[in-house]
Amino acid sequence: MNNQEFKYESKDFWRAVILYGLNTATYKIALGKALINLTEADQTNISMHELAVKFFDLYQDRVKKEMPQLNQPNRLTVMERIIREYDMQNISYSEAIDRVASEAFNDVIPRFHTVDKHEIPVKFYHYDDKGIVLTDNIHQISGNDDAIELHQELDLRWDLLEAGFLIKRSNYTLQNDIRDIYLQDGYGRKNITVNIPVLNAYQKGICFYCSEDMKNEDVNVDHVIPRQFINHDEIWNLALAHNICNSRKSDALPVVSYINKLIDRNEHFIKSNRPIKHKLISQLGNTEKDRKQHVLRIYDDAKKVLAPWVGIKGYNAETDPFYRSFIRNYINHA
């Protein structure tokens, strides 16, 4: 072997990104496809809207095949959720594109040029909030005889990732069927912080998950049954929690003791004639039995899809003074 320095070309760095970059989802491959397509159309300055249209079209083709786009078995990517909501006619095409532009690129665009946590020295685009500008490097590799091979590599890599993700998923079809039910009945996010005063009427600054005091700046409104499954912001499923407790729970499903606490909390609101009484009844049912069955049915569905969360270490509902206080109040009003 001689001492001649090996000179890497742009296509070598491109292949390093596509073949060896970290892929917890298929976003990097989709962005690669979009970049090559846009370059072949002789475009250089790309708005976020234009990129979102291309991204949406690519993912529509993939989602139709019902293959997973994420390495985490119990979650869907933003793109999968947007496309499903569009297919169910929950949102219009323009709304879908706007959501892709604002939600889908936050991680993949800044991290595209990263391989094994290191930035490659060659850049295929520059970006800001308005869009991306393709560089000569990508025009060079897509404008020669290697373009067809690059497309094939991207398609094969995408197929390989989907196949790997699928192996990790059990009951995948069942999970999608269950998710579709809640996507169909759901709606877009609303401002849920307005519910803090109502929810704090019983919590009184105490975290739902650990029963410790919360400071004002550390109060999070959490979906007890995660929103990424239930797809709505109805108040019966909301509780206040520390930021750290909320983060530890993330998108996992709490054990049933927290669900029973949630059910009892809602009944406490109803029995004590709080202002949200009629809203809770309209959301959950006219009788206590109906309301409990409604929540437990959703919880049972969620267990088939979401990873479990055992809760905060040391927490015990039986010794939670605030839980016991509204249980006593609920019994006294029964």
pLDDT for 332: 46
Residue with tokens 């892709």: 100
Give the residue among 103, 127, 98 at the shortest CA–CA distance from 113: 127
Query: Is the Cβ–Cβ distance between 241 and 222 less than 8 Å?
Result: yes
Give DSSP secondary structure letters for 215-283.
-GGGEEEEESS-HHHH----GGGEEEEEHHHHHHHTTSEEPHHHHHHHHHHHHHHHHTT-TTHHHHHHH
Query: Is the Cβ–Cβ distance between 201 and 329 less than 8 Å?
Result: no
What are the structure tokens assigned to 298, written together?
């959703």
What are the structure tokens assigned to 175, written together?
């999970």
Task: Find residue 126's DSSP bridge partners.
Answer: 133
pLDDT for 2: 42
pLDDT for 330: 45
CA distances from 139 to 21, 96, 127, 153 (A): 21, 29, 16, 17
pLDDT for 35: 93
- What tens-digit pLDDT sequence spans the chain (334 residues)? 344 444 568 888 898 888 777 678 899 999 999 999 999 888 899 999 999 999 999 999 888 887 888 887 777 889 999 998 898 888 999 999 999 999 999 999 999 999 878 889 999 999 998 999 999 999 888 766 667 788 888 888 888 788 777 766 655 555 565 666 666 666 566 677 777 877 876 777 888 998 888 877 688 899 999 988 888 888 899 999 998 899 889 888 999 999 999 998 888 888 876 667 888 898 899 999 999 999 999 999 988 888 889 888 887 777 776 666 655 454 444 4
Extended beta strands in the chain, E state: 45-47, 114-115, 118-119, 125-128, 131-134, 219-223, 238-242, 253-254, 308-309
Residue 183: DSSP 8-state: H
The ranges assigned to domains in the chain are 10-169, 193-333
Instruction: State the number of CA atoms in the 13 A half-sphere of 83 facing the CB.
Output: 21
pLDDT for 190: 65
pTM metric for this prediction:
0.57
